[in-house]
Amino acid sequence: MIELKHITKWVNSGGNRIFLLRDINLTVKEGEFISIMGPSGSGKSTLLNVIGMLDEFNEGEYNFIGQPVHELKEKHRSQLYKSHIGFVFQAYHLIDELTVYENIETPLLYQNIKSSERQAIVADILDRFNIVGKKDLFPTQLSGGQQQLVGVARALVAKPKLILADEPTGNLNSKQGEEIMELFKQLNAEDDVTIIQATHSERNAAYGSKIINLLDGMIEK
Instruction: Give the CATH fold of the 31-56+67-211 domain.
Output: Rossmann fold (3.40.50)
What band does 73 get if pLDDT is binned at 50, 70 and 90?
A: very high
Predicted local distance difference test score (pLDDT) of residue 221: 79
For the segment 141-181, what is each residue's pLDDT rounded down to a tens digit?
Answer: 998 888 988 998 999 898 899 999 999 888 778 888 888 89
pTM metric for this prediction = 0.90
Largest CA distance in the chain: 55
- The answer to whether 188 and 12 are in contact (CB under 8 A) is no
Instruction: Report how many helices (DSSP H) and strands (DSSP E) the chain contains, helices first.
Output: 7, 10
Predicted local distance difference test score (pLDDT) of residue 89: 82
Separation CA 8–CA 59 (nearest Å)? 5
The yes-or-no verdict on residue 9 having pLDDT over 80 is yes
Alpha helices in 110-173 (DSSP H): 115-128, 144-156
- Provide the residue ranges of all domains of the chain, joining segments of one domain with +: 31-56+67-211
